[in-house]
């Protein structure tokens, strides 16, 4: 005689095998699934059918008859999330996953997770962890820009291509280009930066990778051809070592030497620019920062953000760049000031 404990475990396994509608699974499919999970769950079709009928009086599961087969499924899309019961910590994790990870998750997976998200919100309601979720946020430096809208069918195709390792035929309009072009893309990775989603892909049979902003993709079609895998390509290396999303000016690192105000030095003593960073007080009260950094546009934008609170000492080429930039900025503002004086003078004469 089968032990009651084994029967209970078989019931739980059986419930977990059932998909939510519109998908379904036949009784014979359930039998194969149970045997794959654990040989001890092997029972005949009639026993499984009786189990399902018994469980359908407790849980919202039902079946459709297709020919001679009964095909079972969860009628309530959220009920199956309770097998096994979800704890508050798991619910909190799902709450944050819903808020912060949507951009990097395949739409098909998000759709399947929707009942879990709904169930998690219900579990957290009125608990201390629900309050916690409202008291912590991840924010980014700088003004909050409104991300461009992405065509959802395009996003679905791109994510599916990356997930399944298949080529994508896409109509893409590059920035500043008057007309869009058709490309055959080999997806290699996906990056979300400042709310913009980029597909990293090679084109046709070429061996180099390029970045494609999804909001500039007009149409996308999933092809049956497998995507070309690039030997030695690593998304981690592409971002962290090659600094491709920091827009490298040169491939060589530079030794940056800048004079900074004291309050900036306090910040950089906690959040260092590099492992070899050094801070040395100067006689004029400023701090000399020395650090080995990647030579990128990101570095230049970061330095510009400090305005007159920072002075570049070396490399000489970078100092010359900023000197020229400051000169151009001064000319623009001087031109504006002269125009304002002229308008003011005309006003007085009239």
In order of their start, the domains of the chain are 4-81 (1.10.10.10), 86-135 (no CATH), 152-238 (2.30.30), 247-326 (3.30.70)
Q: Rounded to 5 degrees, what angle do the CA atoms 135, 137, 140 make?
A: 155
3-state secondary structure 273-314: CCCCCEEEECCCCCEEEEEEEEEEHHHHHHHHCCHHHEEEEE
**What value does the mean pLDDT take over residues 279-308?**
96
With a cut of 60, say whether residue 347 has pLDDT above it. Answer: no
What's residue 2's pLDDT? 44
Q: How far apart are CA 310 and CA 326, in angstroms?
A: 13
Q: Residue 120's closest CA among 79, 77, 87? A: 87
Q: Which residue has the tokens 């149970």?
A: 34
Here the tokens at position 14 are 């059986």
**What value does the mean pLDDT take over residues 184-193?**
96
User: What does the pLDDT look like over 133-154, one tens digit per residue?
Assistant: 888 888 877 888 888 999 999 9
Say if residues 72 and 24 touch (Cβ distance below 8 Å). Answer: yes
Here the tokens at position 36 are 């794959």
What's residue 255's pLDDT? 98
Q: How far apart are CA 99 and CA 192, in angstroms?
A: 14
With a cut of 70, say whether residue 316 has pLDDT above it. Answer: yes
CA 264 to chain centre: 31
**What value does the mean pLDDT take over residues 113-118?**
82
What's residue 246's pLDDT? 92
SS3 content of the chain, % helix, strand, coil (to 5): 45, 25, 25
The residue among 229 and 10 whose pLDDT is bigger is: 229
Q: Residue 106's closest CA among 167, 152, 148? A: 152
pLDDT band at 191 (very low <50, low <70, confident <90, very high): very high
pTM: 0.73
CA 234 to chain centre: 17
């Amino acid at each position: 005689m089968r032990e009651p404990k084994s029967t209970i475990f078989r019931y739980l396994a059986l419930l977990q095998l059932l998909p939510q509608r519109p998908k379904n699974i036949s009784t014979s499919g359930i039998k194969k699934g149970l045997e794959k999970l654990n040989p001890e769950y092997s029972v005949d079709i009639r026993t499984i059918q009786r189990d399902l009928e018994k469980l359908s009086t407790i849980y919202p599961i039902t079946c459709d008859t297709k020919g001679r087969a009964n095909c079972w499924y969860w009628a309530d899309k959220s009920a199956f999330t309770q097998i096994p019961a979800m704890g508050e910590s798991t619910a909190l994790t799902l709450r944050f996953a819903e808020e912060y990870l949507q951009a990097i998750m395949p739409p098909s997976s998000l759709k399947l997770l929707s009942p879990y998200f709904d169930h998690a919100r219900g579990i957290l309601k009125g608990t201390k962890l629900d309050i916690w979720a409202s008291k912590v946020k991840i924010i980014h430096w700088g003004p909050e820009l409104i991300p461009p809208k992405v065509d959802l069918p395009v996003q679905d195709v791109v994510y599916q291509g990356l997930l399944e390792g298949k080529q994508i035929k896409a109509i893409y309009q590059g920035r500043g280009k008057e007309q869009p072009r058709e490309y055959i893309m080999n997806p290699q990775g996906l990056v979300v930066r400042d709310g913009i989603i980029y597909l990293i892909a090679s084109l046709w049979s070429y061996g180099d990778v390029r970045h494609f902003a999804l909001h500039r993709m007009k149409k996308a079609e999933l092809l049956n051809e497998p995507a070309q895998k690039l030997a030695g390509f690593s998304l981690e290396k592409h971002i962290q070592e090659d600094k491709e999303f920091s827009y490298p000016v040169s491939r060589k690192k530079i030794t940056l030497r800048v004079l900074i105000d004291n309050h900036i030095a306090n910040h950089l003593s906690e959040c260092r620019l590099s492992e070899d960073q050094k801070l040395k007080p100067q006689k004029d009260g400023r701090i000399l920062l020395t650090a080995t950094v990647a030579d990128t546009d990101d570095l230049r934008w970061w330095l510009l953000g400090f305005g007159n609170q920072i002075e570049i000492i070396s490399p000489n080429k970078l100092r010359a760049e900023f000197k020229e930039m400051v000169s151009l900025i001064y000319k623009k503002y001087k031109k504006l000031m002269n125009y304002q004086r002229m308008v003011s003078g005309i006003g007085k004469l009239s």
